[in-house]
């Protein structure tokens, strides 16, 4: 009849097992379901009436949408492991029971069987196991002995907070609430905190086939690139990844960790993880940040050694009764009070990353970089009373700081706390966490503001000297400020922390005709770095600054091109973009600063373009 027009190959999507290569076929089987309408309604109502809260708030709609449209839950699984379904089959039908004997008794009572019939009754338990999420949904109360009314259940149930990943909000959290409410009559917890998906530094989901999975033990103990790649090859041999994926994984691994992973320790890893805003949808994990936090841990260790060295030498043991005697001691205690207040508020709001950022800023930038440095002249030239008081303040601040660190750096803080005078038998985990009210007496906002101005000026002096390649002996600094009296008051501190050998102060209304390179701090202070040698010296430094600016401008062009390209690349991530933008911002800031210095030279009308 000539009806056939053409014959072509038909492409089909056939699922194949990645490990064995077998074709996977779906087989329809009878399953067990639970009607969830009533439980889902109660779980939904608990959120709507405010008894249950969920953070971040953008997951709340997902919660309501899933519960309000809840369907029957298939709870049977054909696996070799798990809780076996408590269902028993006989010729009279199915019955639920804890064990075979109980099932026989139930069916005998229901059907009214004789003892002989019950003894010969053929009964078998269902071989399917419960869905993993069903078993885990029982965790909040089953772990305390439920269904028995144990003391632990009375004491610890319900819980206060549940913290877990946002991707299992409906799989696990919703079912915990449903079963908890249905089986115990109360919510299993009152607050839900959801963290984001932990990805690599480029924002990609961690995957063995990509080669970007990081074993926590490798960060804690360190590992070479060769050993990292041996692990990936072992995964290929065991069938975890295919040999096609192996090549890609090895290339990615070599790119991410060209020198392997340096030993960071467990506290540095812990600090890195809690320093992230876990409420973000994606958490970028960077091994390099772990190493930076290891350096912070080292800073804490060295600062503690320094304090204990002087405390032991001066035999200072009792430091809880303080009587500060100088401005910097009052200032560090005020900053300590601010740190304690911020950390307590952040912990209460579950913003741990804000607490860790505040702790790091206080200990590193204020305690170590400023206060410890101002203590050194006291130890060299101070009286016995001044040294004793300084040691007490140092120990007091260190004691509080270690207790603040304890939740995020438990091992380091425990070791160092036991080294403090009189604390050798005290475990930090059993000490009281610092509370805001205890440190309110030290808060002094005016003093904080004054020292902030002083520190800004010190930073500017260091910057103007660094950019212009002046050493301490070359640079004579003149400060022209409306805070003349304030700066005069802190002259010794400014001179010591800025490393200036010569420091002069001029009042705001002074007439200036200086051969200098200038910088401005806010709207209140001009900093002049004096140049000696007239126009020749000006031209020399103008040329140096111009060369440096041109070099930085080339780097800016390179980064801008990279950012432009990343917009067109699908795999480009926000984390990489933010890093490049931060670098670009710092370069542009330095270029602007150099341009200001060059302008001050041009304004002297000695140098022309």
Opening angle at CA 446, ends 443 and 449, nearest 5: 105
- What 3-state class would DSSP assign to 541? helix
Q: Which of 168, 217, 176 is nearest to 195 (CA)?
A: 168
- What sign does the CA torsion over 217, 219, 223, 229 have? positive
Tell me whether strands 191-195 and 53-55 are parallel, antiparallel or unpaired.
parallel
Q: Identify the pLDDT of residue 156.
A: 93
Give, for 478, the enclosing helix (H) or strand (E).
strand 476-481
- Beta-carbon contacts of 343 under 8 Å, excluding residues fewer than 6 positions away, are 355, 358, 359, 404, 434
Token reading at 14: 């056939």
pLDDT of 267 = 95
Instruction: Look at residue 571 in the predicted model and tell me its pLDDT.
Output: 45
Task: Check residue 136 and give its pLDDT.
Answer: 94
Residues 567, 491: contact at Cβ < 8 Å? no
Find, among 432, 428, 457, 587, the residue nearest to 529 by Cα.
Answer: 457
Better-predicted residue by pLDDT, 337 or 14: 337
- The predicted-structure confidence for 313-322, as pLDDT tens digits, reads as follows 989 888 888 8
| SS3 call for 595 | helix
**Amino acid 573: pLDDT:** 47
First vs last C-alpha separation in the chain = 93
What pLDDT score does 572 carry?
46
- The confidence score (pLDDT) of residue 509 equals 55
Please state, for a pLDDT cut of 70, what percent of the chain lies above it.
91
**What is the average pLDDT across 517-529?**
79
**Fold assignment, 33-85+126-195:** Rossmann fold (3.40.50)
When mean pLDDT is compared across 212-221, 287-296, 401-410, 540-549, the lowest value belongs to 540-549
- Looking at residues 415-441, what average pLDDT do you find? 91
Angle at 561 between CA 584 and CA 591, to 5 degrees: 35
pLDDT tier at 78, thresholds 50, 70, 90: very high
Q: Which residues pair with 590 in a beta bridge?
A: none
Cα–Cα dist 418/116, whole Å: 72
What's the burial of 261, exposed, middle or buried (CB within 10 Å: 0-12/13-18/19+)?
buried
- Among 187, 229, 245, 201, residue whose Cα is nearest residue 52: 187
| pLDDT value of position 318 | 85
Q: What is the pLDDT of residues 21-45, one digit of tens each?
A: 889 888 888 999 999 999 999 999 9
C-alpha angle 581-587-589 in degrees, rounded to nearest 5: 100
Q: Of 103-112, 374-383, 582-591, which gets the smallest average pLDDT?
A: 582-591
The more confident residue out of 19 and 498 is 498
Q: Is the pLDDT of residue 542 over 80?
A: no
pLDDT at 158 over 90: yes
What confidence tier does 513 reach under pLDDT thresholds 50, 70, 90? low
Query: Which range is least confidently modeled, 276-280, 345-349, 367-371, 428-432?
Result: 276-280
> Quick one: fold of 315-443?
Isoleucyl-tRNA Synthetase; Domain 1 (1.10.730)
Provide the pLDDT for residue 538.
62
| Partners of 125 in beta bridges | 88
- 76: CB partners within 8 A, 6+ apart: 31, 32, 85, 126, 128, 129, 130, 131
pLDDT for 498-508, tens place per residue? 887 777 877 76
Q: What is the mean pLDDT of residues 519-537?
A: 71
For the chain, the maximum distance between any two Cα atoms, rounded to a whole number of angstroms, is: 119
pLDDT per position as a tens digit, 447-491: 999 999 999 988 888 887 777 777 666 667 888 888 888 888 888
Contact 503, 479 (CB under 8 A): yes
- Domain residue extents for the chain: 33-85+126-195, 198-263, 315-443, 544-608
User: pLDDT digits over 131-146, tens only?
Assistant: 999 999 999 999 999 9
Question: The tokens 């300084």 sit on which residue?
Answer: 390
The per-residue pLDDT for 569 is: 46
Q: Is the pLDDT of residue 169 over 90?
A: yes
pLDDT band at 577 (very low <50, low <70, confident <90, very high): low
| Residue 339 backbone phi and psi in degrees, to 5 | -65, -45
pLDDT at 570 over 50: no
CA distance 384 to 239: 71
Helix (H, G, I), strand (E, B) or coil at 77: strand
């Amino acid at each position: 009849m000539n009806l056939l027009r053409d014959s072509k190959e038909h492409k089909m999507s056939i699922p194949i097992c990645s490990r064995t290569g077998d074709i996977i076929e779906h087989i329809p089987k009878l399953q067990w379901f639970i009607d969830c309408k009533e439980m889902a309604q109660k779980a939904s109502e608990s959120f709507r009436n405010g008894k249950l809260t969920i953070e971040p708030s953008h997951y709340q709609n997902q919660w309501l949408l899933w519960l309000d449209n809840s369907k029957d839950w298939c709870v049977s699984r054909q696996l070799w492991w798990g809780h076996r379904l408590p269902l028993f089959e006989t010729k009279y039908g199915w019955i639920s029971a804890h064990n075979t004997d109980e099932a026989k008794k139930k069916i005998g009572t229901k059907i009214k069987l004789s003892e002989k019939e019950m003894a010969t009754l053929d009964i078998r338990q269902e071989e399917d196991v419960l869905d993993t999420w069903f078993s885990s949904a029982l965790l909040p109360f089953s772990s305390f002995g439920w269904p028995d009314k144990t003391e632990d259940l009375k004491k610890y149930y319900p819980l206060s907070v549940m913290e877990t990943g946002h991707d299992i909000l409906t799989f696990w959290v919703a079912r915990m609430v449903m079963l908890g409410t249905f089986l115990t009559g109360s919510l299993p917890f009152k607050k839900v905190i959801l963290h984001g998906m932990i990805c690599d530094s480029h924002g990609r989901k961690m995957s063995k086939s990509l080669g970007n999975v990081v074993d926590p033990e490798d960060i804690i103990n360190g590992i070479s690139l060769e050993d990292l790649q041996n692990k990936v090859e072992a995964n290929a041999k065991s069938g975890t990844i295919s040999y096609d994926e192996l090549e890609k994984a090895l290339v990615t691994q070599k790119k991410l960790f060209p020198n392997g992973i340096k030993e960071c320790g467990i506290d540095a890893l812990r600090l890195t993880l809690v320093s992230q805003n876990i409420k973000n949808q994606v958490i970028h994990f960077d091994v390099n940040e772990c190493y930076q936090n290891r350096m912070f841990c080292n800073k804490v260790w060295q600062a503690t050694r320094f304090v204990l060295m002087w405390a032991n030498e001066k035999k200072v043991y009792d430091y809880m009764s303080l009587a500060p005697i100088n401005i910097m001691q009052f200032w560090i205690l005020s900053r300590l009070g601010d740190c304690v207040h911020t950390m307590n508020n952040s912990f209460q709001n579950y913003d741990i990353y804000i607490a860790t950022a505040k702790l790091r800023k206080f200990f590193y930038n204020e305690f170590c970089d400023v206060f410890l440095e101002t203590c050194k002249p006291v130890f060299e030239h101070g009286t016995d009373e001044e040294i004793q008081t300084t040691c007490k303040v140092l120990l007091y601040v260190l004691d509080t700081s270690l207790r603040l660190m304890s939740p995020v750096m438990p091992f380091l803080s425990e070791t160092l706390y036991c080294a403090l005078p009189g604390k050798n038998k005290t475990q930090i985990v059993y000490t009281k966490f610092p509370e805001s009210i205890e440190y309110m007496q030290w808060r002094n906002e005016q003093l904080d503001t004054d020292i902030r101005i002083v520190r800004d000026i010190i930073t500017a002096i260091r910057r103007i000297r660094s950019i212009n390649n002046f050493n301490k002996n070359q640079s004579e600094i003149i400060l022209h400020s409306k805070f003349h009296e304030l700066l005069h008051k802190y002259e010794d501190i400014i001179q010591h922390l800025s490393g200036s050998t010569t420091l002069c102060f001029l009042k705001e209304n002074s007439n200036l005709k200086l051969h200098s390179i200038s910088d401005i701090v806010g709207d209140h202070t001009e900093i002049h770095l004096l140049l000696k040698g007239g126009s020749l010296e000006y031209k020399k430094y103008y040329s140096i600054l111009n060369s440096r600016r041109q070099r930085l401008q080339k780097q800016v062009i390179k980064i801008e091109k990279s950012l432009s390209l990343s917009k067109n690349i699908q795999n480009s991530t926000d984390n990489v973009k933010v890093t490049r933008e931060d670098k670009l911002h710092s370069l542009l800031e330095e270029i602007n600063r150099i341009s200001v210095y060059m302008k001050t030279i041009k304004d002297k009308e000695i140098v022309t373009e």
